[in-house]
Chain A
Amino acid sequence: MKRNHILRDPRALMTAIAMIVMLVISVGPASAQQPQPDQDGYVAVTDLDLAQEQLPAAPLVMAAYAIAWLAVFGYLWSIWQRLTRVERELAEVSRRIQPETRR
């Protein structure tokens, strides 16, 4: 079967190159026109009066950390469950097939 390969189709290749060139050209002037934000980066301080905050940051920070951990743990648990199920099924199928092949 002949495969449909983009590199062997000159029209498709030209279209792809034209799209990339247009994208690069459009990003250049946009970059020049946009006022750039402050580039100084973060400034560290050791003391901060958290009691003065109108919107407390601690619950937001805790929620972000908790969600990250829950997502990672939940996903690991999901892989564990799926892998255990597949391996159990593999062992069972292999056990069932072996006596049949001996016959």
Chain B
Amino acid sequence: MDTRKLFILPLVAIAAMFAYAPYAIHAAPYESTMGLVQKIFYFHVPAAMAMFLSAFVCGIASAVFLFGRKEKADRLALSAAELTVLFGLIVLISGPLWARKAWGVWWQWDARLTSTLILWLVFQAYLLLRRYGGPGSDRLAAGVAIFGAANVPFVYWSVNVWRTLHPPTNVVRTLEPEMMWPFMWSAIAYLGLYGLMLAARYRLENRRAELEEIYLAAED
């Protein structure tokens, strides 16, 4: 499949999201205590969902690589780790922008925010290991990724277990219908976009492996 064709679907998805974003801002009702700033929720939470999903994909693929020695799984893990960091960055920037208005501070060292930052740093560590770790770092990085994925349930439930300023997980479940539809649309669009970006990134990693094989074959 031609590279350009591979990018048509993500671009159409992004265009659809762009077209819908102003509608979501204006059509969804305001939240009674937070007002306009609560609309960050429609991007912040789907980005967090994509980050969690990506961390799981990376962790599972790393386990398959570590215990099954499947090179393809390692390529998928590397692709997913990069996307975990990307969506984590969106979460960690949009969250404080929301917090500044809702809580009066940019950052609070509470369980949810701190554990999310740690999760993001774990996947940053994975990428640094892969880039600068030298020979054998792929297996070490796979161990780090499994540790990172195991952190996801703790990050998710941290708001229900520890006292925190962050809204609890039942906020999504108890959304009023006028808020639920824009949220669901945004979540589906974000997760679809994540899938397409992962496919594109995985293709890049496969092509790199092909190139490496050709060079090795030429040397022999």
- Spell out A's residues near B (CB within 8 Å): 5, 27, 30-31, 34-37, 39-48, 50, 53, 55, 57-58, 60-61, 63-65, 67-69, 71-73, 75-76, 79-80, 82-84, 86-87, 89-90, 93-94, 97
Contact = CB atoms under 8 A, between A and B. Distances in A.
Given A30-B162, A60-B40, A64-B43, A90 B21 contact: no
Top 6 nearest A-B pairs (CB, nearest first) are: A41-B174, A44-B29, A57-B37, A57-B36, A64-B94, A43-B32
Contacts of A44: 29-32, 176, 178-179
Contact of B98 (A64, A68, A87): A64
B93 A64 contact: yes
A85 B204 CA distance: 10
Given A50-B36, A93-B218, A42 B31 contact: yes
Interface of B: 3, 7, 10-11, 14, 18, 21, 25, 29-33, 35-40, 43-44, 47, 67, 86, 89-90, 93-94, 97-98, 100-101, 160-164, 167-168, 170-171, 173-176, 178-179, 193, 197, 200-201, 203-204, 207-208, 210-211, 214-215, 218
Nearest to B204: A83
B10 A86 contact: no
Contacts of A50: 35-36
A67 B72 CA distance: 32
A60 B98 contact: yes
Given A67-B90, A71-B89, A86 B204 contact: yes
A31 B154 CA distance: 13
